[in-house]
């Protein structure tokens, strides 16, 4: 009987045990992994490929347009090109086309632009869904059992956060690989080391989002509520960010939302690290914002979880 | 620390500022005994257990387990207790062995110790052959045994069992009782359990507290409680056609005699001793006893006496529990 007192329940040990549990559950359920990857894949494959914005500026689309004598461009006039130049040789238009694409999206093809945005999408869905697993733990009594052991309370929350984040990283890797197969154009500044930066960005977003979702899920004993919240906020968050379209072309009110939306910063960071020529000052801003976002939300989430755990 | 392992003083839990689940409850549990909380669903049994295992904070009053305050020294309490919850909390996607190791890790038990102990416990609950099978494939009885094993991984000094046989069929229930008795014997633990099965309380518990609407109505050993009703029921018939009420009443320990159409219904203390005395007294007067039956009052009668009604919704709740579980599993579906 003696010795029961001497065990040292530690945060790291408990965190590890609980995280391994979640990961084991996850690996034994490959269908769920597939389902979560499928959604961004469909978006990427269908929307990304069908929204062939680059094609707007090719001769096929512009050829029958009336060409004025002079094309007014603010500040000066451009001598219009000779007609046969337009019809026979489309370099002029495609040059203009890819310039417009680059000025708008930073890259010449829209697919690369939006495929990278799918990383934010997968991080968001994964973290949101894993927040719900705590509702299950509560309903099935697992949470109460864990609470009756001397494992540090923080380990219970951190394990969920860590698990969500690890999943998100794994799934983001799959998405990135699939995007590459489907024709993602990597920039010349891309190296494999950039992957570490991508993981860091995902980690920060994952920690921030999952902390807050877990805290909210802790309060609800029903699955429906977090589900509804997720489906309610997911699309708006995606559209009010640079996931599909550049912020600078949005109306002012929407720009205001997009500029505080953490998805914009993750997406930008991932773009900087993959398809865009790396702009380190932009990257620093992205990471600074994400760091603050993760710290603040994790702090709120952990304080709330602490209160909700001790009923 | 005296031999009072658990002590509750005015322990109270109010949910949402209005629902009084546990209402100023006082009791103490002695070292080495099996103490049972008996009451219908919603009586406050689980709420009490959840406070004692430090999962819920009491609204009022205090309690200690092994001398440690359940609020101020919650972590000391947690290290020393084991919990077998009402639900099947083992992770369905993990194997039985993995589940026990997970519990051990939460207590911070070194791996070399926990591996050995997990195998011992699996042996004890006869799950060795299934240890590497996913819990998903386990039957209700096996899951319950796994919960028992998990609850014992830290060699607890006090084991809390919340409705240990809820939703089990009669045979499995009896088998589970055997395990519980063996555990008590082998580990010399103190057990605190809740149940709404009268037979279970009677078969297992050294002492019982009957709880209803959040209040303890009466506490005592099953024997005391039954005796408190005024003893056993003896029914006697005699060959002769005569009224022998007075003769029977004069026998020692007889409390009450009723003549019901030639059969005498006698309430007496210690019926097994009193019945021969009654036969003897009648024989001395020349009467012949043709029929005699002795029934001990069951806890059901005790319960009836104190709460004014029979155990409510016992069977219904079992059904409800099972159907809820099925729904849960279906909803989980993965």
B21-54 pLDDT tens trace: 999 999 999 998 999 999 888 888 999 999 999 9
Could you tell me which residues come within 8 angstroms of residue A252 by beta carbon, excluding any fewer than 6 positions away? Answer: none
My answer on whether B27 and B76 are in the same domain is yes
My answer on whether B46 and B138 are in the same domain is yes
Q: Could you say which of B172, B205, B226 is where a domain stops? A: B226
Identify whether B213 is part of a domain.
yes
Asked if B79's CB is within 8 angstroms of A5's CB, the reply is yes
Identify whether B324 is part of a domain.
no
Got the DSSP string for B66-102?
TTEETTTTHHHHHHHEEEE-SS--S-TTSBHHHHHHH
My answer on whether B180 and B268 are in the same domain is no
User: Domain range for residue B280?
Assistant: 230-296
What's the pLDDT at A286?
93
Please list every residue in chain B whose beta carbon sits closer than 8 Å to the beta carbon of residue A140: 87-89, 328
**Three-class DSSP category at B280:** helix
Number of domains making up chain A: 2
What's the pLDDT at A89?
47
In angstroms, the CA B148 to CA A229 distance is 38
Identify whether B137 is part of a domain.
yes
Which residue matches tokens 């004025």?
Answer: A68
In angstroms, the CA A298 to CA A309 distance is 16
* Chain centroid to CA B150: 20
Identify whether B265 is part of a domain.
yes
* C-alpha to C-alpha distances, A160 to A18, A135, A260, B92, B133, nearest whole angstrom: 8, 12, 25, 18, 25
**Three-class DSSP category at A297:** helix
Enter the DSSP assignment of A81. Answer: P
Measured CB to CB, residues of chain B less than 8 Å from chain A are 50, 53-57, 75, 78-81, 83, 85-89, 91, 93-94, 98, 102-103, 105-110, 134, 150, 154-157, 160, 187-188, 328, 331-332, 334
Beta bridge partners of B44: none
My answer on whether B138 and B245 are in the same domain is no
Please list every residue in chain A whose beta carbon sits closer than 8 Å to the beta carbon of residue B19: none
My answer on whether A165 and A273 are in the same domain is yes
* C-alpha to C-alpha distances, B135 to A140, B9, B147, B164, nearest whole angstrom: 14, 39, 11, 18
In terms of DSSP H, where are the helices of chain A?
11-27, 30-42, 49-50, 59-62, 83-88, 91-105, 110-139, 142-147, 153-181, 194-219, 224-239, 252-260, 262-273, 280-309
Asked if A25's CB is within 8 angstroms of B94's CB, the reply is yes
What's the pLDDT at A79?
55
Beta bridge partners of B20: B14
My answer on whether B103 and B207 are in the same domain is yes
My answer on whether A226 and A82 are in the same domain is no
In tens digits, chain B (334 residues) has pLDDT values of 457 899 999 999 998 888 889 999 999 999 989 999 998 888 889 999 999 999 999 999 999 999 999 999 999 999 999 999 888 899 888 999 999 999 999 999 999 999 999 999 999 888 999 999 999 999 888 998 899 899 999 989 999 999 888 878 888 888 888 888 888 888 888 999 998 888 888 888 999 999 988 899 889 998 888 877 767 778 888 888 778 887 888 887 887 787 777 788 788 877 788 888 888 888 888 888 888 888 777 777 777 667 766 554 444 455 555 555 555 555 544 3
My answer on whether A250 and A272 are in the same domain is yes
In angstroms, the CA B334 to CA B329 distance is 8
What's the pLDDT at B300?
73
Could you tell me which residues come within 8 angstroms of residue B89 by beta carbon, excluding any fewer than 6 positions away? Answer: A140, A141, A142, A144, A145, B147, B150
Asked if A17's CB is within 8 angstroms of B155's CB, the reply is no
Please list every residue in chain B whose beta carbon sits closer than 8 Å to the beta carbon of residue A221: none
What's the pLDDT at A196?
92
My answer on whether A143 and A248 are in the same domain is yes
- Which stretches in chain A have pLDDT values below 70? 1-6, 57-94, 221, 223, 311
What's the pLDDT at B50?
92
Q: Which of residues 5-34 of A touch B (CB under 8 A)?
A: 5, 7-10, 13-14, 16-18, 21, 24-25, 28-29, 31-32
In terms of DSSP H, where are the helices of chain B?
45-52, 74-80, 96-107, 111-124, 140-151, 170-187, 198-204, 222-227, 245-250, 271-284, 299-307, 314-332
Identify whether A1 is part of a domain.
no
User: Domain range for residue A92?
Assistant: 67-102
- ipTM value for the complex: 0.77
């Amino acid at each position: 009987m003696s010795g029961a007192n001497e065990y040292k329940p530690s945060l790291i040990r408990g965190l590890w045990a609980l995280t391994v549990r979640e990961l084991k559950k996850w690996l034994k359920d490959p269908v769920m992994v597939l389902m979560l990857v499928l959604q961004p894949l469909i978006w990427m494959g269908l929307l990304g490929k069908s929204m062939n914005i680059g094609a707007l500026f090719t001769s096929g689309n512009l050829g029958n347009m009336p060409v004025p004598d002079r094309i007014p461009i603010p500040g000066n006039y451009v001598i219009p090109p000779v007609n046969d130049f337009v019809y026979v040789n489309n370099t002029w238009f495609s040059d203009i086309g890819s310039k417009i694409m680059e000025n708008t999206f930073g890259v010449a093809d829209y697919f690369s632009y939006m495929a990278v945005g799918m990383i934010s999408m997968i991080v968001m869905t994964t973290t949101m869904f894993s927040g719900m697993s705590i509702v299950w733990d509560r309903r099935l009594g697992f949470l109460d059992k864990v609470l009756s052991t001397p494992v540090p309370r923080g380990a219970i929350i951190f394990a969920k956060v860590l698990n969500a984040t690890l999943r998100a990283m794994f799934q983001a890797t799959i998405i990135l690989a699939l995007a590459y197969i489907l024709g993602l154009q990597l920039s010349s500044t891309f190296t494999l080391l950039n992957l570490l930066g991508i993981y860091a960005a995902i980690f920060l977003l994952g920690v921030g989002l999952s902390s807050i979702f877990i805290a909210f899920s802790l309060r609800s004993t029903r699955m429906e509520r977090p589900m509804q919240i997720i489906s309610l906020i997911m699309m708006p968050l995606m559209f009010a960010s640079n996931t599909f379209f550049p912020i600078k072309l949005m109306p002012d009110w929407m720009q205001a939302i997009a500029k505080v939306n953490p998805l914009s910063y993750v997406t930008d960071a991932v773009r900087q690290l993959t398809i865009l020529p790396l702009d380190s000052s932009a990257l620093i801003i992205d990471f600074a914002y994400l760091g603050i976002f993760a710290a603040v939300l994790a702090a709120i989430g952990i304080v709330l979880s602490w209160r909700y755990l001790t009923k | 620390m005296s031999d009072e392992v658990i002590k509750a003083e005015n322990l109270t839990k109010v949910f949402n500022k209005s629902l009084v689940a546990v209402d100023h409850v006082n009791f103490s549990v002695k070292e080495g005994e099996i103490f049972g909380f008996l009451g219908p669903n919603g009586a406050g049994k689980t709420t009490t257990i959840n406070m004692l295992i430090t999962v819920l904070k009491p609204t009022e009053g205090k309690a200690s387990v092994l001398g440690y305050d359940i609020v101020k020294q919650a972590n000391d309490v947690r290290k020393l207790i084991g919990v077998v919850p009402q639900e099947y909390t083992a992770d369905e996607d993990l194997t039985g062995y993995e589940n026990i190791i997970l519990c051990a890790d939460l207590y911070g038990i070194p791996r070399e110790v926990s591996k050995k102990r997990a195998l011992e416990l699996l042996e004890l609950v006869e799950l060795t052959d299934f240890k590497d099978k996913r819990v998903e494939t386990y039957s209700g009885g096996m899951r319950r045994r796994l919960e028992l094993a998990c609850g014992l991984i830290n060699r607890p000094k006090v084991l809390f069992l919340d409705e240990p046989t809820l939703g089990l069929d009669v045979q499995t229930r009896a088998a589970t009782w055997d395990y519980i008795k063996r555990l008590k014997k082998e580990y010399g633990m103190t057990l605190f359990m809740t149940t709404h099965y009268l037979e279970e309380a009677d078969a297992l518990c050294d002492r019982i507290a009957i709880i209803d609407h959040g209040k303890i109505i009466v506490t005592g050993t099953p024997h005391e409680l039954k005796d408190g009703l005024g003893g056993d029921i003896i029914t006697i018939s005699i060959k002769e056609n005569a009224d022998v009420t007075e003769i029977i009443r004069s026998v020692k320990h007889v409390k009450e005699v009723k003549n019901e159409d030639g059969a005498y219904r006698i309430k007496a203390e210690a019926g097994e001793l009193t019945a021969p005395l009654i036969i003897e007294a009648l024989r001395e007067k020349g009467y012949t006893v043709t029929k005699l039956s002795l029934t001990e009052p069951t806890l059901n009668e005790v319960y009836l006496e104190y709460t004014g009604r029979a155990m409510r919704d016992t069977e219904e709740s079992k059904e409800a529990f099972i159907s809820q579980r099925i729904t849960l599993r279906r909803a989980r579906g993965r």
